[in-house]
Amino acid sequence: MESLFGTEPLEDFKSVSQDMFNHLYGNTENITAINSTITAATQELKQLIIQCNFDLDQVAAVIKTKSWDKNKIQHFLTLLQAKRTDLLYSLLTHSNSSHGESLSNFNWVLKLVLGSSELKSLKYPLVQLMLHTDTPQGNKRQRMYELNKEALAKFITVLENVELK
């Protein structure tokens, strides 16, 4: 992270470090200044987080011991604290998705389907399940399933019988 903390002037350092935190474990499409400084600093920060066993307080302690510009260190630690929740969520999602596609969010809607014909009236419930997943490559997917009562019961049974490693 020497190259990051060597960025001059202070405003450029703030901009680059903000971009780095915003895209540490996400895609890098919107980074305003993609360059080797951000790439190298991102990799070094990831390694530091791993070396500190994902303890962000320990990461902050290590950074405080460096002989870099105190204003830059203070700004960096302020960003680290401000992005703490998002960073921990990104770490967890990245770690889980590195082992295969993982669920990042879900939503469900209960629907009641009504219909009629000359022969009979239809009235049955459906559950619409939307799963948001992350792939090992960092892509996000959305999958939608509609389940009737029997399919939902089978789905719940399968989930209850999953063996955890």
pLDDT at 119: 57
pLDDT score recorded for residue 32: 47
What pLDDT is attached to residue 149?
83
Position 117 scores a pLDDT of: 64
Question: pLDDT at position 156, please?
Answer: 86
- What pLDDT sits at residue 53? 76
Confidence at residue 12, expressed as pLDDT on a 0 to 100 scale: 75
Whether cis (ω within 30° of 0) applies to the bond prior to 9 is: yes
Helix segments in the chain, DSSP class H = 2-5, 10-22, 36-51, 56-64, 70-82, 84-97, 149-160
Residues of the chain with pLDDT under 70: 1-3, 7, 23-37, 93-99, 115-123, 138, 164-165
> Contact at 8 Å (CB) between 83 and 21?
yes
